[in-house]
Chains A and B, each alone.
Chain A
């Protein structure tokens, strides 16, 4: 960096500017601490034996690093009356998130394509009506959903949750793909139509191969949303079929026996790992999803 360049608004190299620059970094650093503290505390506490938690403080480093709390959280901690750790609930979450993400993404892709490249009368109105679903407070559908799941025989099951997440993810996935396909040139599609390619031919051979960026954003967004969901999980599942967020909440809230804070924290980390990994490795797609979620068309 040279002194003559103008860097944003703060210009480096004059004495006052240097001080300002140091101050800027100090403030940014303080915010790093604020945002990281819960994660640091979580990891350090999870690595401590219970004894050290009683004697030490929040931020004291673990002296006797142990994985025992993590193993207990995974395998043998009691969630309600069941003492198998979070393991079965993590499987529930996986069994819920995979089909729900696949289904809602597929439907979103085909909707987005049909609504932008085969515009028919009323396409905008249909899209607008579907998009509204992304904004309703889910409290307004909890009661009828509970009854519908009951009638379908899906109450308290993982497939029930798959249905719920697929249905309420549709608005988002359709939005993502529509916004992506709007930006894809109509020319290619028109040319293919002239050449006699049909609706599905164009979709599978031309449009879908262009869409990996949209697919990645949608999958990541849906994955984090569904994995992190708590409201639907607690309202529509019971004990054995709880997703991991609900199990974690039950584990932490249980008040029987000695409170094992280290196991609680280890359990929280287990529940956080999948989305954390996705965020670290595909953060920019996650951010794109967030931006699209704010309906910036």
Chain B
């Protein structure tokens, strides 16, 4: 082996690693530090303890954002999972045209939400969209104004979010189903297990790793989702559909509350890390074997 080959691999990885250290870890450290200062329009570097966190947790809008994230996140994850699994199982029945159906179910994932949000906004628009459609086919009393209703607007985000991501869960589970040995399914059929028992009792429990990665990805998507909300409701009406991602953006770039924005970003990071770090750790350990 040439001498150069001893240090070349390290030298080659070094720039990327340095970029990660600076742009990921360095930046996180900066944001965390700023969240412990009194920074407003400009960053200030005197340590100020927990004041930003106290302010954050005294801001009513933060509670609105958290509540919305809870409603959106739980429904989004639950419906995506249910729909994705259902579609995957249905597609697993040796369906003709499976390829076409799969393509159609998954294409939303390839589009920017800014694009599809434009279409959803138009479909959900009370005076132009579904409501008008129903009136025109004779259902005069039909009402569907969730998009502009303070109480209901968050559910329109669920509708569009599920539309965007359920195909992804379908793809993951379909791949999982395909990896299961046909013999197991046949054996279950011979033992007299009906389709329901076969799936619920035997097949789905075998797909535990798929549940886990789908859950991690969906949760991650839900917490980060920014363009979804901006495209559909821009956080409105008022602040009715604010989520932590839009909260952070608005305090950082519109209200120039750097410290408070940093504190809210740290809260988001901590939440995601609590789930992702143990997951990554176990994945990498398993991969090393």
Instruction: Show the binding face of A for B, using Cβ within 8 Å.
Output: 6-10, 24-25, 27-28, 31-32, 34-39, 41-42, 45, 53, 57-59, 107, 110-111, 114-115, 118, 120, 123-124, 126-133, 135-145, 147-148, 167-168, 170-171, 174, 193, 196, 198-200, 224, 227-231, 234-235, 245-246, 248-249, 252-253, 261, 264-265, 267-269, 271-272, 275-276, 278-280, 283, 286-287, 290-291, 293-297
- B54-97 near A? 1/0 per residue, CB < 8 Å: 00000000000000000000000000000000010011111100
B17 touches A126 (CB 8 A): yes
Q: List 24 A-B contacts (CB under 8 A).
A: A8-B92, A8-B185, A9-B189, A28-B87, A28-B95, A32-B105, A38-B116, A38-B120, A57-B136, A107-B16, A130-B20, A133-B24, A135-B272, A137-B220, A140-B266, A141-B23, A141-B28, A143-B252, A143-B261, A147-B43, A198-B2, A248-B118, A265-B122, A272-B111
Inter-chain CA distance A227–B114, complex, in Å, is: 11
A45 touches B122 (CB 8 A): yes
A41 touches B269 (CB 8 A): no
Give A87 Cβ to nearest chain B Cβ, in Å: 17
A276 touches B107 (CB 8 A): yes
Inter-chain CA distance A227–B245, complex, in Å, is: 20
Inter-chain CA distance A131–B15, complex, in Å, is: 15
Number of interface residues of B (CB under 8 A): 109
- Within B252-282, the residues touching A (CB, 8 Å) are 252-253, 258, 261-262, 264-266, 268-269, 272-273, 276-277, 279-280
B195 touches A10 (CB 8 A): yes
B118 touches A264 (CB 8 A): yes
- B185-223 near A? 1/0 per residue, CB < 8 Å: 110010000010011000000000100011011001001
Tell me whether A28 and B101 are in contact in the complex, defined as CB-CB below 8 angstroms, given that A9-B195, A261-B122 are known contacts: yes
B112 touches A230 (CB 8 A): yes
B248 touches A139 (CB 8 A): yes
* B residues less than 8 Å from A261 (CB atoms): 122, 128
Tell me whether A110 and B163 are in contact in the complex, defined as CB-CB below 8 angstroms, given that A9-B189, A35-B104, A291-B175 are known contacts: no
* A residues less than 8 Å from B107 (CB atoms): 35, 39, 276, 279
Which of B45-53, B149-157, B164-172 lies at the binding interface?
B164-172
A144 touches B123 (CB 8 A): no
B269 touches A137 (CB 8 A): yes
B15, B24, B244: which contacts A107 (Cβ < 8 A)? B15
B interface, by DSSP: helix, strand, loop or mixed?
A: helix
- Which of B114, B234, B279 counts the most A-chain CB atoms under 10 A from its CB? B114
A249 touches B114 (CB 8 A): yes
B16 touches A174 (CB 8 A): yes
A41, A145, A234, A286: which contacts B27 (Cβ < 8 A)? A145
B110 touches A286 (CB 8 A): yes
* A residues less than 8 Å from B264 (CB atoms): 139
Give B159 Cβ to nearest chain A Cβ, in Å: 10
Q: Assess whether B133 is interfacial by the CB under 8 Å rule.
A: yes
- B3-21 near A? 1/0 per residue, CB < 8 Å: 0110011101101110111
A249 touches B230 (CB 8 A): yes
B4, B12, B245: which contacts A110 (Cβ < 8 A)? B12
A295 touches B213 (CB 8 A): yes
Tell me whether A199 and B9 are in contact in the complex, defined as CB-CB below 8 angstroms, given that A144-B30, A297-B287 are known contacts: yes
Tell me whether A291 and B171 are in contact in the complex, defined as CB-CB below 8 angstroms, given that A142-B265, A198-B5, A245-B114 are known contacts: yes
B171 touches A42 (CB 8 A): no
B108 touches A228 (CB 8 A): no
Tell me whether A142 and B248 are in contact in the complex, defined as CB-CB below 8 angstroms, given that A147-B43, A170-B19, A235-B253 are known contacts: yes
* A residues less than 8 Å from B287 (CB atoms): 297
A38, A123, A287: which contacts B106 (Cβ < 8 A)? A287
B118 touches A268 (CB 8 A): yes
Residue of A nearest to B198 (CB): A9
Inter-chain CA distance A196–B105, complex, in Å, is: 51
Inter-chain CA distance A283–B168, complex, in Å, is: 12
* B residues less than 8 Å from A35 (CB atoms): 104-105, 107-108, 163, 167
Give B118 Cβ to nearest chain A Cβ, in Å: 4
B13 touches A275 (CB 8 A): no
- B214-251 near A? 1/0 per residue, CB < 8 Å: 10110010011011001100100000000011001100
Q: Assess whether B119 is interfacial by the CB under 8 Å rule.
A: yes
CB-based closest 8 A-B pairs: A228-B112, A118-B9, A279-B110, A38-B119, A230-B227, A294-B213, A297-B287, A114-B9
* A residues less than 8 Å from B199 (CB atoms): 9
Residue of B nearest to A259 (CB): B128
